[in-house]
Structure 1
Amino acid sequence: MLAPEAVERQQQAMQRLLMAVTPGLLVLFWLYGWGVLINLLLAGTCAWAVEAWVRRLRGHDSRDLSGLVSAVLLALALPPYCPWWLCLGAVSSALLLGKHLYGGKQNPFNPAMVGYALMLLAFPQPMTHWPASHGLDLLAGLQQVFGLHGEAADAWARATALDALRINNSLTIDELFARHPAFGQIAGKGSEWVNLAFLAGGLFLLQQRVFSWHAPVGMLASLFVISLLCWNGSGSDSHGSPLFHLLTGATMLGAFFIITEPVSGAKSARARLLFGVGVGVLTYLIRTWGSYPDGVAFAVLMMNLAVPALERWARPQAVNA
């Protein structure tokens, strides 16, 4: 059991984290409209219900904000206007299988990424239907989310920049940026601003010392380096520039809000740095040669498996006299 002071510090850290996602949330709302808030409402309600049910089963009334944090991160990571059952399934899986299956305090995997990955594996089509900028109005959004004879998703959704780049085999990078509506100035259209907003929130958390710099810097530096080494200009077989990979997909959300999760992540500073490096490299490899356009969730879960080994490697070795 943690001391009351430690519990209080954890609660304060989670409160700051919820504050820090606000810039990214506002930019997502500006880009995609009501679907972002609908996701938040569904995810938050589901998290409250699951946590209350588990507390009742266990016969205690201990409360924390970790379930709400996982739900909020999932709501931001899921496509706006995804079906209601997809959001509820992701949050329920995250909390029941990713958190409470292990007692609620010692989960080896990041709960939010457990829920996200399970939904992506089971329902890849709705998980990759991202709306065009500005999305739908409130009524049309509710109709789409709850299946009330709204527009078919294909009528307003489009491929993301990562997906378009992954399947491209004929257009140069310059032609993609000029012709494909998913591309902005240096990365995905809109995702540039989303990633900058999450970067601002992450820097706030670093300034508040909610977590150390090791994991975020390790992830961003390794993603930059490997994308730079594998970058071959603007040809049709190019995998994108380093700035493209830093400012598209879930890069900044992953670097500052996902891999810094304290329970499933590494504990020592050196191990956290190695953890971040591994996530960055795996993210690039999955984006480039995998079957899914963004690889953050799978990269985090694979590195969760490696945490015990990382802690052993990071431990200083005794020097024989």
Structure 2
Amino acid sequence: MKTLSSPFLPVTASVGQVMRDVLIALAPGVVVYALLFGPGVLINIVLAVLTCELIEAAVLKLRGRALKPFLLDSSALVTGVLLALAVPPTAPWWIIVVGCGFAMLLGKHVYGGLGYNPFNPAMVGFVVLLISFPVQMTAWPSMHPLWDTTDAVSGATALDHVKTQLSLERTLSEIRGDTPLGLFAGRGWEWIALAYLLGGGYMLWRRTIRWQIPVGLLLGMTVIAGAFWAYDGDRYASPLFHWFSGATMLGAFFIATDPVSAATTPRGRFVFGFGIGMLTYVIRTWGGYPDGIAFAVLLFNICAPTLDRYLQPRIYGQRRDKPQA
């Protein structure tokens, strides 16, 4: 990973420490997810972590690299957890294995491994699964707390439900009384989003991530969602709905902030996050998928080097020169 702008300060946290902070921050979301939707997410996490670690070890062995330092940095573990959280908890086991394979091979090692990947590996695996296996990837369960002994049933997420109902010419005021919707967004999903927000606050406090990307993402989503909501509140959901439904909080704090594939300059990070927030709303509202975080992140991963190049901070005492072509 190359930092394009000054000041070049020494980094005191190792890769392993950063990844462990991410895992600690994810813990509240995982716990709430499992409590509200059953143990399927925990099974997916265990399977994804084992698969990612095995693939990591196999590739490192083939490349003649030392296993211990790379396996202990927990980067493969974080990739597995993020992918497992993005996949429906009732998905078949082979979905997890295939997704981890694409995440680790196509998203990471084909470029040279950790620090060289231009795309977020977990989102590469997720998008491959979403495009290749749409039926399995859209079968989300209804809320099924661990203390509830009734059988869980499959149902649409809040984003999917709202999108489908709006296409049937229903208004949001009519849709709000339906079962999948909760206080702000999808019933149960709001609490998972709040748990991710809590974890994001922990990472900001620990300085594991910078504020520009999550704030930019949430602000970008708020600006465009607020504009359309003000224009027609019966056709377009409020910014609060978009904040607390889907993968907004997970994306803002845990996915878009990937230090390797995201922008690295202060202004570049903000524009990077702002663009992801706006593009996510566009995909949710007019695209073919109910949530667009993964696609938006990957598209802006492509833009990250350009943003860093043209949004470098001025060197004190010198004029801001245009980047050389």
Partner residue, 1:30 = 35
CA distance in 2, matches of 1:22, 1:223: 25
Partner residue, 1:81 = 90
**Residue type matched to 2:271 in 1?**
L
Partner residue, 2:74 = 65
CA distance in 1, matches of 2:274, 2:261: 16
Does the aligned pair in 1 maintain the 2:38–2:144 contact within 8 Å?
A: yes
Per-residue deviation at 1:319?
4.8
CA distance in 2, matches of 1:60, 1:211: 29
Partner residue, 1:174 = 173
The root-mean-square deviation of aligned C-alpha atoms, in Å, is 2.3
* 1:52 equivalent among 23, 33, 57: 57
CA distance in 2, matches of 1:288, 1:319: 39
CA distance in 1, matches of 2:276, 2:155: 27
Which segment is superposed worse, 110-119 or 155-164? 155-164
SS at match of 1:53: helix
Does the aligned pair in 1 maintain the 2:159–2:291 contact within 8 Å?
A: yes
Per-residue deviation at 1:308?
1.6
* 2:271 equivalent among 261, 269, 274: 274
**Residue type matched to 2:82 in 1?**
L
Partner residue, 1:130 = 140
Does the aligned pair in 1 maintain the 2:265–2:313 contact within 8 Å?
A: no
Matched, 1:308 2:301: no
**Residue type matched to 1:112 in 2?**
A
SS at match of 2:176: helix
CA distance in 2, matches of 1:136, 1:23: 16
Paired positions, count:
302
* 1:14 equivalent among 5, 9, 19: 19
Does the aligned pair in 2 maintain the 1:191–1:247 contact within 8 Å?
A: yes
Does the aligned pair in 1 maintain the 2:36–2:146 contact within 8 Å?
A: no
Cα 1:8/1:312, change in 2 over 3 Å: closer
CA distance in 2, matches of 1:79, 1:123: 12
CA distance in 2, matches of 1:119, 1:176: 29
What are the equivalent positions in structure 2 for 1:215-226 lying under 5 Å apart? Answer: 215-226=213-224
CA distance in 2, matches of 1:95, 1:135: 32
Q: Deviation string for 1:12-52 (max 9, x for gaps)?
A: 11101100001100110011111111111110110111011
Partner residue, 2:129 = 119
Does the aligned pair in 2 maintain the 1:177–1:185 contact within 8 Å?
A: no
Does the aligned pair in 1 maintain the 2:32–2:191 contact within 8 Å?
A: yes
Normalised to the residue count of structure 1, the TM-score between the two structures is: 0.89
* 2:156 equivalent among 150, 154, 159: 159
Q: Deviation string for 1:126-184 (max 9, x for gaps)?
A: 111110111799xx9xxxxxxxxxx9xxx821111111111223322122121x22110
Does the aligned pair in 2 maintain the 1:117–1:298 contact within 8 Å?
A: yes
Q: After TM superposition, what 4+ stretches of structure 1 lie above 4 angstroms from structure 2?
A: 5-8
Cα 1:66/1:27, change in 2 over 3 Å: same
Q: Which runs of 5+ in 1 are unaligned?
A: 141-150
**Residue type matched to 2:290 in 1?**
P
Per-residue deviation at 1:309?
1.4
**Residue type matched to 1:196 in 2?**
L
Q: Which runs of 5+ in 2 are unaligned?
A: 3-9
* 1:39 equivalent among 18, 41, 44: 44
* 2:251 equivalent among 244, 249, 254: 254
Cα 1:119/1:7, change in 2 over 3 Å: farther
Normalised to the residue count of structure 2, the TM-score between the two structures is: 0.88
CA distance in 1, matches of 2:57, 2:13: 20
Cα 1:85/1:319, change in 2 over 3 Å: closer
**Residue type matched to 1:37 in 2?**
L
CA distance in 2, matches of 1:28, 1:262: 26
